[in-house]
Chains A and B, each alone.
Chain A
Amino acid sequence: ITLKESGPTLLRPTQTLTLTCTFSGFSLNTTRMGVGWVRQPPGQALEWLALIHWDDSKRFSPSLEKRLTITKDTSKNAVVITMANMDTADTATYYCAHIPLGLFDWFGPWGQGILVTVSS
């Protein structure tokens, strides 16, 4: 199983971030599979953002829910997350990760991460 994040690495404040997680080795058509997103500001701890399951059920971080959307494209083996109204405090490395057993929701393999910088 491999995952890779892609998207812009530099954003201006107030812009919307769109990141794509492209994966191989599993399918979101398979029962219990899922993909989650986690971010890590430089030198800080991990922070969960959102996840999506095989059945299109979704969970969001309560503190960020109003700014987030998450969708899946099973034909492309991809999951897309958007975060609106970006701020300098959202500067972080963004990771996607495989969820091998949805509803338990631990993260298996992770992508390499993408550093997103928000600066004016």
Chain B
Amino acid sequence: DIVLTQSPLSLPVSPGEPASISCRSNQNLRHSNAQEYLHWYLQKPGQSPQLLIYLGSHRASGVPDRFSGSGTGTHFTLKINRMEAEDVGVYYCMQSLDSITFGQGTRLDIK
């Protein structure tokens, strides 16, 4: 089974400051087609999850450009270059290379 480990589990960030969340996999998520099968979601309080980043680094439609995804193989990072109040919530990484698994989530809130 592919296990995704996120860190930190909780992250208070001041408005306007950057934030970074790590997602590590116990297996390589790079497909033979050269795509990284790692995706990021945000679940705002009381809401359903929403897609932020797919295939490692592709921003979903309507996602602000302050969000970016990077990484390859077993280590991936989600970055917010300037934290805003509306970014509060729980962030999940998910892999779809072998079955589908989610990380345990990282709670981001305003400091």
Main secondary structure on A side of the interface with B: loop
B50 nearest CB neighbor, chain A only: A110
Binary per-residue interface labels of chain B (74-111) against chain A in the complex, 1 for a CB within 8 Å, 0 otherwise? 00000000000000000010101001111111000000
Q: Is the CB of A46 within 8 A of B92?
A: yes
Expressed in whole angstroms, the Cα–Cα distance for A36 and B48 within the complex equals 14
Q: Chain B: interface residue count, which band?
A: 20 to 34
Expressed in whole angstroms, the Cα–Cα distance for A45 and B9 within the complex equals 12
Residue of A38, A47, A112 with highest tally of chain B CB at under 10 A: A38
Expressed in whole angstroms, the Cα–Cα distance for A100 and B95 within the complex equals 16
Expressed in whole angstroms, the Cα–Cα distance for A113 and B44 within the complex equals 14
Expressed in whole angstroms, the Cα–Cα distance for A61 and B100 within the complex equals 7
Q: Which residues does A use to contact B, with CB under 8 Å?
A: 36, 38, 45-48, 51, 59, 61-62, 95, 97, 104-113
Question: 18 interchain pairs (CB within 8 A)?
Answer: A45-B102, A45-B105, A46-B49, A46-B92, A48-B99, A48-B100, A48-B101, A59-B99, A104-B35, A104-B54, A104-B55, A105-B96, A106-B39, A106-B54, A107-B39, A107-B49, A110-B50, A112-B48
Q: Which residues does B use to contact A, with CB under 8 Å?
A: 1, 35, 37, 39, 41, 43, 48-51, 54-55, 60, 92, 94, 96, 99-105
